[in-house]
């Protein structure tokens, strides 16, 4: 079941693009019959706490403004692809959630995670980021060396800032839910596929 991370293109600190590229590659390799969703983690204060991220020291949590992973439903199970995690790639959804996110009720409200669940095909059609959110934060030579991902002219763009705005309703059939509710619902809470 585990797939090699090295088989996929990856740029540190650009999780939204890494997941777009991964989703596109899986779809092109014949995985289009497997339901896939992009999970966009953030919250209104843009400060979510995660464990087992490679950017943090082992045994320490890290606070991100947002994080993006791919969820694939295969053989009656849900699997999470997270390039930045120390957990297996992919990792079973329930294991991933329990080992990555602290108990939400024990956290101050500002660190509690919300999820925007996006049908993967909609994410592939609409994602647009000009990478301006990283300008001045990292050297330009650490930016991806491929062109910016943007939709073709027939599809309206959804900017990265709209995805991480958990109060914004988008036209891509995405669904926003808090992490604890999502944990209890499991994959029953699938957004509609178009």
Of the pLDDT bands very low, low, confident and very high (cuts 50, 70, 90), residue 185 is confident
Q: What gap in Å lies between CA 86 and CA 56, rounded to an integer? A: 10
pLDDT digits (tens, 9 = 90+) for 123-182: 999 999 999 999 999 999 999 999 999 998 999 999 999 999 999 999 999 999 999 999
Residue closest to 65 by CA, chosen among 49, 83, 47: 47
- Locate tokens 């919300």: which residue? 114
User: Which residues have CB under 8 Å from 20's CB, separation 6+?
Assistant: 123, 124, 127, 149
Ranking 7-11, 13-17, 35-39, 183-187 by mean pLDDT, the lowest is 183-187
Q: What gap in Å lies between CA 84 and CA 54, rounded to an integer? A: 6
What is the predicted pLDDT for the residue at 3? 78
What is the predicted pLDDT for the residue at 26? 92
Q: Which two tokens stand for residue 188?
A: 């029953």
Q: What is the mean pLDDT of residues 53-73?
A: 96
pLDDT digits (tens, 9 = 90+) for 73-126: 998 899 999 999 999 999 999 999 999 999 999 999 999 999 999 999 999 999
Of the pLDDT bands very low, low, confident and very high (cuts 50, 70, 90), residue 193 is very low
Q: Does the pLDDT of residue 69 top 50, yes or no?
A: yes
What is the predicted pLDDT for the residue at 101? 97
CA distances from 179 to 12, 85, 103, 173 (A): 24, 18, 10, 18
Give kind and range of the element (H or E) at residue 74.
strand 67-74
Specify whether the CB–CB gap between 75 and 87 falls below 8 A. Answer: no
End-to-end CA distance of the chain: 28
Which residues are known catalytic residues?
Answer: 15, 67, 82
Q: What gap in Å lies between CA 71 and CA 90, rounded to an integer? A: 9
What is the predicted pLDDT for the residue at 1? 44
What is the predicted pLDDT for the residue at 70? 97
Residue closest to 103 by CA, chosen among 183, 192, 37: 183
Of the pLDDT bands very low, low, confident and very high (cuts 50, 70, 90), residue 4 is confident
Q: Does the pLDDT of residue 192 top 80, yes or no?
A: no
Specify whether the CB–CB gap between 76 and 92 falls below 8 A. Answer: no
What is the predicted pLDDT for the residue at 194? 30
Query: Does pTM surpass 0.85?
Result: yes
Residue closest to 71 by CA, chosen among 165, 160, 144, 175: 175
């Amino acid at each position: 079941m585990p797939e090699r991370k090295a088989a996929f293109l990856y740029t540190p600190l650009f999780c939204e693009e890494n997941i777009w590229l991964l989703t596109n590659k899986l779809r092109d390799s014949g995985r289009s019959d497997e339901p896939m969703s992009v999970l966009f983690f953030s919250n209104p204060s843009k400060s979510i706490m995660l464990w087992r991220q490679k950017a943090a020291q082992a045994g320490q949590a890290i606070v991100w403004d947002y994080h993006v992973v791919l969820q694939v439903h295969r053989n009656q199970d849900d699997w999470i692809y997270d390039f930045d995690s120390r957990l297996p790639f992919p990792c079973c959804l329930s294991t991933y959630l329990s080992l990555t996110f602290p108990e939400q009720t024990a956290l101050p409200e500002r660190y509690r995670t919300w999820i925007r669940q996006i049908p993967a095909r909609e994410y592939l059609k609409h994602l647009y980021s000009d990478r301006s959110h990283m300008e001045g934060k990292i050297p330009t030579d650490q930016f991806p060396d491929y062109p910016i991902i943007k939709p073709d002219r027939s599809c309206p763009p959804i900017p990265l800032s709209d995805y991480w705005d958990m109060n914004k309703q988008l036209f891509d059939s995405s669904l926003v839910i808090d992490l604890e509710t999502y944990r209890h619902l499991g994959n029953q809470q699938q957004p509609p596929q178009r």
